[in-house]
Amino acid sequence: MSTNFTKLKPHLVPAIVLILLTLVVYGQVLNFDFLSNWDDYQYVTSNPDIRGFSAINLVHIFSSSYVGNYAPVHLLSYMLDYQLAGLNPAWFHGVNVAFHTVNGLLFSLLVYRLTGKPAWAFVSAAVFLLHPVQVESVAWVSQRKNLLAMFFSLCSFLAYLSYRQRTGEGRQLAYILSVLSLLLALFAKSIAVIMPFVFLLYDFYLEQPRRKKGAFVDKIPYIVTVAVASGIAMVTQSAGGGSVDFFEGNIVAKFLTMLTVLTRYVQILLWPVNENLNAVYIFFVKNRLDGDVAVALLLVTTLCLTGIYLWRRERCLFFGFALFFLGLIPVAQIVPLSTLMNDRYLYFPMLGAAWMVGGLLSLCHDRFFPKRTGAALVVITCLLIPYVLLSYQRTQVWQNAIALWSDVVKKLPTLKDQRATLAAAYIYDDKKKEALATYEELFALKREFADPHVEQKALLEAANLYMDEGSLEKASPLLLTLTRKFPDYPRGFLTLGRYYVLARNLPEAEKAYHKALLLEPASPNALISLGNICLATGRVAEARAWYRKCYENGGNSPDLQFNLARVEAREKNYEAALNYLAEALKLGYRNLDAINNTPELAPLRRLPSSKELFTVYFGHPW
């Protein structure tokens, strides 16, 4: 025990410093909320499959994709969170911070085992943990998959090192653990497909002494594991919307565009002061050579020459250089993804970038200032303090959906889609005035929406808000635009029908509901609304037919049963009406004002059973 502690003791202070610095940046996320309208609701808050361990939930998690991804390990972690703490956002955020911190410590251990240099290991881990580009992966609960994939990938790499470096007992166990860890990483996020190639990179450039035997054969289980996981990922992303071809099969456009993406990635790594997202993330698909592409080509040429130099002179640095580009390959649109670039796409490439920074500082210190430890500490401090400050500031943006999208709108004031997402965040928090003000600013912008589905939702939600506050004249042009631009969208015609009902134009409302029903024949809203119009215009038999059709199509609801009670009461079938009313109450109908203010229901008061019914549900007789 004392021997193990003696070996561990020199690493305790650096590890404690890394943990404390990470907590300084990310401790604030314990007060953050889930993001109401960006993936968190699909993965966590509105996902019944993560609500506790059960056979049904486990079957769903292992047989379904979520948000276009097959990631059962990711969902299992949420299931465990829920089992331990319910939907407590502090717990979910805290687990993210814990995994990121552990990943940094594992990376530090990995670098130390590969280089034997404590300073190299510390700086690399610190850069990985504290660089501002990592904030998205840590502060956003839904990016747990990134953290888990990294955790199991690093475990796989460390086990692989044990396998390659051992000759006797425990060698095969280490190999099996490495393969299993890679499988878990892939089932957290498919980006872990790079790991077999990382192992080959180690075999050829870092392994001492070099063991040529088995360098390719022992990769076969890893390759098979990657192939199976990649196949599943491609199928689920295509089916679930996680795959979008921005280039419509144009290979030249893809190549030129991704060159400029590489330039932006290098830019935010070297200069992470990201105050103006227009200058970093917003760009167009490139179909020909222009200034941006020319700069990108110059950068690529410089990087190639740098790579050749490192390959010949500094093999240890070349490992990090190659590791960075290996990490970029899965997010380089070789397989189409839903976005061209994101901070979170750099979580794996940061291993290589952080390795390079740590290595350069370590080598410079060893060659030029071997006896000046103080100077090295000053340089490291000057590097880390800006990272801590910038990351701390950027983390605050992620405290909730309103804070996040307000920041995006501030930095991208001319884009409609992002402003629409901010409005949706306001609606979720029941801040209708702020949502309407945001929509008004949005529709005043001259440019077009990038995503037609965002425009569709924005027109619909804004019209509903105007109708809620009684501004029918403002809702009308939005609904006419919605139904003209999206003639196959049933909710647009349902909302148009609601507008005409509020405007007391029942013939036009009926036409709108018929159009909605034509687009969605089993729509319970359309069927009930048509029944309501028939009932309001004295066509009781037609109203009953619409309501019955809704019931037969599986659209049973408290409102449906209440309306059936109205129909039967209108026909003086009071016992049947009371039975429907009882069913409505059983299903959760509690609008006592509506019951009392519906004249046709008044005769039901005389029925003896009505007193008992109301006493059960309202605590007093009718």
The average pLDDT across 53-69 equals 88
Structural domain range at position 459: 409-595
List beta partners, residue 69: 66
Mean pLDDT of 177-206: 94
Backbone φ, ψ for residue 17 (5° rounding): -60, -45
Question: Residues 307, 308, 312, 314: what is their CA dihedral angle, to the nearest 10 degrees?
Answer: -20
Report the predicted TM-score, pTM, of the whole model to 2 decimal places.
0.86
What's the mean pLDDT in 500-515?
95
The packing angle between helices 452-468 and 416-428, to 10°, is 40
Per-residue pLDDT at 140 exceeds 80 = yes
- 173 Cβ neighbours under 8 A, 6+ residues apart: none
Q: Please tell me the distance from the alpha carbon of residue 42 to that of residue 519, in angstroms, as a whole number.
A: 26
Burial class (CB in 10 A: 0-12, 13-18, 19+), 207: middle
pLDDT at 280: 47
Q: Are residues 375 and 276 in the same domain?
A: yes
Q: In this structure, are residues 387 and 131 in contact, taking their beta carbons and an 8 Å threshold?
A: yes
Instruction: Name the one residue in this structure whose structure tokens are 């993001």.
Output: 35
Neighbours of 317 (CB within 10 A): 22
Report the pLDDT averaged over residues 151-164.
96
Range name among 331-345, 392-406, 446-460 with the lowest pLDDT average: 331-345
Q: DSSP H helical segments within 131-188, as ranges?
A: 135-139, 144-165, 171-186
For residue 239, give the 3-state DSSP assignment. helix
440 contacts 477 by C-beta, under 8 angstroms: no
Q: Residue 616: which pLDDT band, with cuts at 50, 70 and 90?
A: confident
Is 279's pLDDT higher than 50?
no
Report how far residue 491's alpha carbon sits from residue 512's, in angstroms, rounded to the nearest whole number. 10
Q: Map tokens 């687990």 to a residue.
A: 95
Same-domain status, 107 and 188: yes
602 within a domain of the structure (yes/no): no
Query: How many Å apart are CA 66 and CA 75, to the nearest integer?
Result: 9
> Based on the structure, what is the number of domains in the chain?
2
Let me know whether 131 and 109 are in one domain.
yes
First to last CA, the chain: 77
Q: Which residue has the tokens 């509105």?
A: 46
| Alpha-carbon torsion (447, 448, 449, 455), positive or negative | positive
Claim to verify: residue 446 and residue 382 sit in the same structural domain: no
Contact present, 235 and 68 (Cβ < 8 Å): no
Residue 350 lies in a domain: yes
305 and 451 assigned to the same domain: no
pLDDT at 516 exceeding the cut of 50: yes
Long-range contacts of 300-308 (CB under 8 A, 24+ apart): 300/259, 300/262
Do 337 and 208 fall into the same domain? yes
CATH code assigned at 476: 1.25.40.10
